[in-house]
Structure 1
Amino acid sequence: MTSSRAKLTLAERIQRAMGVLACRLPQPVLRRLADVPVNTDGEEMAPEIALLMRMTEAGDDYSDLAPAGAREVVEAESRIFADRMPSFAIQEELRLPGGLQATRYRAGSSSRGLVLFFHGGGFVLGSRASYDSPVKLLALKAGVDVLSVEYRLAPEHPFPAPHEDALTAWGYAVEHAAQWGLDPHRIVVAGESSGGNVAAVLCQQLRGREVQPFLQVLIYPVVDLSTERPSHHEFAGSPALSAKQIKWFSGHYLPAGTDVKDPRVSPLLGNLDGLPPAVVSVAGFDPLRDEALEYAAELLENGVPTRVLREGGLVHGFISFTALSRTSRAATERIAEEIARAMSPDGVARASGAYRF
């Protein structure tokens, strides 16, 4: 899988135009078209997201398909609704040890540092191509290089393959940072959803090494597969990520007999002491919301400087909705702003342990 996108067909262009037009209607019109829900915490879903969820609910469910077919559906959807980005100064395809592939992005002539990024998709779906736009948005707005990694997917490569690949990618990033003009001691590890799990586990695995991540950015991460929390039940029917889909992902990813309390499966149950400073972004209408908030709380309890970005009106997967939703775009830009702030001279000061927000 390459990171380049195929050209849209005429039908796909029409579908994109209609989706963008619908989600950008005036707020009063959107409220009439969609029943805007309020969660138990009193947060109201963004109206354009409510309409998008209504349209998604009417479509097919990829978890009714085999992984190969589900991947085709997800790749097509990401291609149709991808945000449009300007040309980048650097977008190079790289081959890492073991045959892993990655893409390095740099928007302009200079860069504040490097973000090692792991995409979402429940360990079964997703690719560099389907995350090309959100990764570019982070690179552009944070002023950094992003190395987007194509880790192996289940069921062909089940647990713990993604974590093995993350260690390989980390080693590659550290080894090559200097030749890209970047400081290997200023590498941010970031991930979305299942990729957030990969990023969190990687930070735990690297604890005590001479070169460790500068910052971890966890975007609505999967951090505990051992139990369910209230948000799992409240949003069990979410079109963005349902209980059925979570079960489908887990069934493909975890071999029979896997200990779900293994910290590589559920990093919330691991040792959180001495980890890099963290930014944790959560969505108000996400079944993973409560475990992500608990992870942030446990990081703080263990003395890890942590910033929580609570996006109350959004759903799981919002960084892929930026072409349709201004609310999603703003939330994604806030993540980029935190990366930029940490990379600035007054950001994370590792020697003193200070994290100034």
Structure 2
Amino acid sequence: MAKVLELMQPVLEAAVLRGVYALPRPVRRLIAGSPVRLDGQELALDAQLLLKLLKLSGRDGLSGVTPEAARAGMRRSTKLTGGPRLSDVVAADRRIPADGGDLAARLYRPRDLTEPGPLLVYFHGGGWVIGDLDSHDDLCRFLAKHAGIRVLSVDYRLAPEHPFPAALDDCVAAYRYAADNATELGSRPESIAVGGDSAGGNLAASVALHATRSGLVRPVFQLLIYPAVDATTRRRSRELFGDGFLLTDRDMNWFMDHYAPDAADRYDPRLSVLLADDLSGLPPACVVTAGFDPLRDEGEAYAQRLAESGVPVVTRRFPDLIHGFVNLRPIGTRFQEALFEIVGTLRAGLELQRV
């Protein structure tokens, strides 16, 4: 009986969460509390409500006592915030050969998409320590369905078992695999984009830089969602939003200590892409940030450097949202609205680069 109750608890918690979000707006506002305003921004009710519910449940941040505990927490959160599987998307698991061992991957395709077209190679977030194909399954299905493209999601090796640059090496290998097998994947080498969120945004930016400089086929586009791009500098947004907005200052230190325990590695431009000497010639980019995110300012600094280097870039701050909002689409309309806008930019960017 105890085992049954343990298995049922996430299901019950998910039902309660959806029940709360289905309440009338005035009731949700009463639960969430007075509006949160900071740095000239007002936090979206959907985001504030989630933060309040997390606080009431005793959860704070994304890290854990151990990496295993943090990964278990991520899996639990995915079950809580996940919704019905999006229809009309076909997914197939794959294996990608890499020097560190075969990588798990998942290829998504809209069911009615039969002609060759763009392929987005996507790297999940999670501080290089947590996250997997399942934690970002809903997001990748959403991108595939509403952008009308194929998405290849990559499960790279995680720290601390595999510290920097293992994750990047895997992502480069996955991008090379996609380019070498583009036809079989339903695309062409000249139609492959890279994307990712948070740590995945870091990996996507670094893969784009590596491919451009090393002679690999350059990605046609880069989708960078609240990317981590500088492990060397504390910016104002980290001081403002480092506590109480899901991703905490403590989390960021914890993740980096596991991924790059040698402080010297944090100055490596393969990790701190913002420090690269030359960003010219990189693919067009969409850089997305969230207003209440400690990573906000470094992402926008990277977008500015891209623009100054002559790279076409669209910078979009969602001033009312928090880090991680793309994984929260099933529970709050504001999260989904933002994701639809991101998809629109991705579609436009790929269409403009179509060859």
TM over 0.5: yes
1:52 Cα deviation from its structure 2 partner: 0.5
Name the structure 1 match of 2:307.
300
* C-alpha distance in 1 between matches for 2:97 and 2:179: 13
Q: Structure 1, residues 5-63: CA drift from partner, whole Å, max 9, x if none?
A: xxx943222211211221233332222221321121x2211112101011122323453
User: Aligned to 2:240, which of 215, 234, 244?
Assistant: 234
Give the aligned residue type for 2:163.
Answer: P
> In percent, how many aligned pairs have the same letter?
37
Q: Deviations over 1:287-311 (max 9, x none)?
A: 0001111111111111100001211
Given the alignment, which residue of 260, 266, 284 partners 2:266?
260
Name 1:143's counterpart in structure 2.
148
Conserved 8 A contact 2:109-2:150: yes
Partner amino acid, structure 1, of 2:72 = E
Runs of 4+ in 1 over 4 A off after TM superposition: none
**Which residue does the alignment assign to 1:79?**
79
Q: Which segment is superposed worse, 323-332 or 152-161?
A: 323-332
Aligned residues of 1:203 and 1:275 also touching (Cα < 8 A) = yes
2-structure distance, mates of 1:330, 1:263: 34
What secondary structure does 2:267 align onto?
coil
Using the TM superposition, give the Cα deviation of residue 143 of structure 1 relative to its aligned residue in structure 2, in angstroms: 0.5
Residue deviations 1:304-354 (CA, integer Å, cap 9, x gap): 00001211111000011111111111111211111212232xx2368xxxx
The partner residue of 1:277 within 278, 284, 292 is 284
Residue correspondence of structure 1 range 168-317 to structure 2 within 5 A: 168-208=173-213, 209=215, 211-270=217-276, 271-317=278-324
Show the counterpart of 1:107: 110
* Residue 241 of structure 1: how far off its partner (Å): 0.2
Aligned to 2:3: none
- Distance apart, 1:210 and its partner CA: 5.2
Which of the pair is proportionally richer in helix? Answer: 2
Shift, 1:103, TM fit: 0.4
Corresponding residue number in structure 1 for 2:327 = 320
Q: Secondary structure at the match of 1:178?
A: coil
1:202-228 deviation per Cα after TM superposition (whole angstroms, max 9, x unaligned): 111111425110000000000111011
In the aligned structure 2, how far is the partner of 1:115 from the partner of 1:60? 33
Structure 1 position 275, deviation (Å): 0.5
> Which SS does the other structure have where 1:129 is aligned?
coil
Q: Indicate the larger mover: 203-212 or 264-273.
A: 203-212
Q: How does 1:153-164 map to 2 (within 5 A)?
A: 153-164=158-169
Q: Which amino acid in 1 is paired with 2:25?
A: Q
Check whether the contact 2:144–2:150 (CA below 8 A) recurs between aligned residues. yes
Q: Is the 8 A contact 1:196 1:220 kept in 2?
A: yes
Match of 1:37 in 2: 36
Q: Does 98-107 or 122-131 show the bigger shift?
A: 98-107
Query: Which 5+ residue runs of structure 1 have no aligned equivalent?
Result: 1-7, 351-357
C-alpha RMSD of the superposition: 1.7
> Are the equivalent residues in 1 in contact too, given 2:202–2:228 (CA < 8 A)?
yes
Aligned residues: 340
Matching residue's letter, 2:14: R
Secondary structure of the structure 1 residue equivalent to 2:38: coil
Conservation of the 8 A alpha-carbon contact between 2:89 and 2:145 = no
Please give the secondary structure, in 2, of the residue aligned with 1:78: helix
Whole-angstrom CA distance in 1 between matches of 2:191 and 2:205? 17
Work out whether residues 292 and 321 of structure 2, in 8 Å CA contact, stay in contact via their aligned partners in 1.
yes
Deviation at 1:81, TM superposition (A): 1.3
Matched residue type, 1:259: D
* Pairwise CA distance, 1:238: 2.7
> In the alignment, is the contact (CA less than 8 A) between 1:24 and 1:48 conserved in 2?
no
Long gaps (5+) in structure 2: 1-5
* 1:252-277 deviation digits (Å, cap 9, x = unpaired): 11132433221112101112111000
Change (3 A) 1:185 1:27: same
TM superposition score normalised by structure 2: 0.92
